[in-house]
Amino acid sequence: MSVDMQHLAINYIALTDSGEHQAHYRDGLISSNVAVANLVETLHLAYNGKPAKGYASFNPEKSARVPQALADWQADQTDFLGFAKATTDALVVELSQHQLPETGYVLLAHYRYLASDYLLVCLLGSKDHFELSEQLELATSRHLDIGRMQLAARLDLTEYAVNAAKGNYISFIRGRAGRKVADFFLDFLGCTEGADARVNSQKVLASVEEYLGAAEFDASEKTSARRQVFDYCEERAKSGQDVVLTELSAVVDPEQSNGFLHYCAEQQLDVAEQFPVEVKELKKMVKFNGAGGGLSLSFDEKLLGERIKYDIKTDTLVITGTPPNLRDQLQRFSQGYSAFDQGSE
């Protein structure tokens, strides 16, 4: 892992007694040191680890505050601190207009990773921790709640500079707070949503399955190919990178590295040359899971047809061999727990 920190600015947005948003600005950037570099890397990993992301690009019909502030910074008409202040001001305006009670620390991190420049913008909450000194004196400290990062977006500055027309150089966390919050963050950035990672993932699922059938892979080859495809896509998503169709083709069928690529073109499967994916959706390639009516099941795809049989007509699963801990619970329940207790004496 090698995240090269360039700039880090932190401001704070609070609510006044009258319920209005108010920004508090730090006078300077955060000085670079090992701890700060670790913080930026932690932010990078936390952002990459979020499973549901959307992709967007700037829209001239929306607010120009952030795009203009970005242009001024990149043209050296202002420094990163000025850019951070202008961006924070834009966030305050949108929070007020949308009448949302969100508050917290505004972090703007400019860093390099894998030869690309990124700008991460996030609004983080905080939580208090309790500490005890050697004299058992109690003290509290405030920590950034990075684990609950929800309002965040990342701009691929390198992609934006060389291929802005393609779009989708901005990613954002969809979050669990509902579309209103996601829409508010897009309005704040002045962008509109573009590529849908979930739809792209569904296309990958369908296209790979079509190819495996057309190429007459046997059951074990299909299982291996699905696992390889999932591992490749998961690695790309976790590193914040798009899936590349030529690379994916070589993963699907190593013996004919362009086989899947040519199949997609011949069948007009509408798979882009490069696209973002959603790991949660792709997990269906390698695992079945579901819950409802008091029943929860999850098992690896490779077990279907072997230890697990499914009858589509009767909607029945037959499982041969249960996990040891489940088997122990079932046996104890069936034979009576007291019988096991007596046997162990």
In this prediction, residue 293 carries a pLDDT of: 86
Secondary structure of 308-334 in HEC code, one letter for each residue = EEEECCCCEEEECCCCHHHHHHHHHHH
Phi, psi of 276 (to 5 degrees): -80, 155
Task: Read off the pLDDT of residues 101-130 as tens digits, 9 standing for 90 and up.
Answer: 889 999 999 999 988 999 999 999 988 888
- Taking the C-alpha atoms of residue 151 and residue 169, their distance in angstroms, rounded to an integer, is 17
Q: What is the mean pLDDT of the chain?
A: 87
Task: Read off the pLDDT of residues 36-57 as tens digits, 9 standing for 90 and up.
Answer: 999 999 999 999 888 778 888 9
pLDDT, average across residues 193-200: 77
Q: Quick check: 299 pLDDT over 70?
A: yes
In this prediction, residue 338 carries a pLDDT of: 61
Query: Rounded to two decimals, what is the model's pTM?
Result: 0.70
186 close to 192: Cβ distance less than 8 angstroms: yes
Q: Quick check: 166 pLDDT over 50?
A: yes
pLDDT band at residue 132, thresholds of 50, 70 and 90?
confident
Collapsed DSSP state (helix, strand, coil) of residue 242: coil
Task: Read off the pLDDT of residues 231-288 as tens digits, 9 standing for 90 and up.
Answer: 998 888 877 778 888 999 999 999 888 889 888 888 888 787 888 888 888 888 899 8
Task: Read off the pLDDT of residues 304-331 as tens digits, 9 standing for 90 and up.
Answer: 888 999 989 999 999 998 889 988 888 8
Residue 157: name the closest of 126, 117, 103 by CA: 117
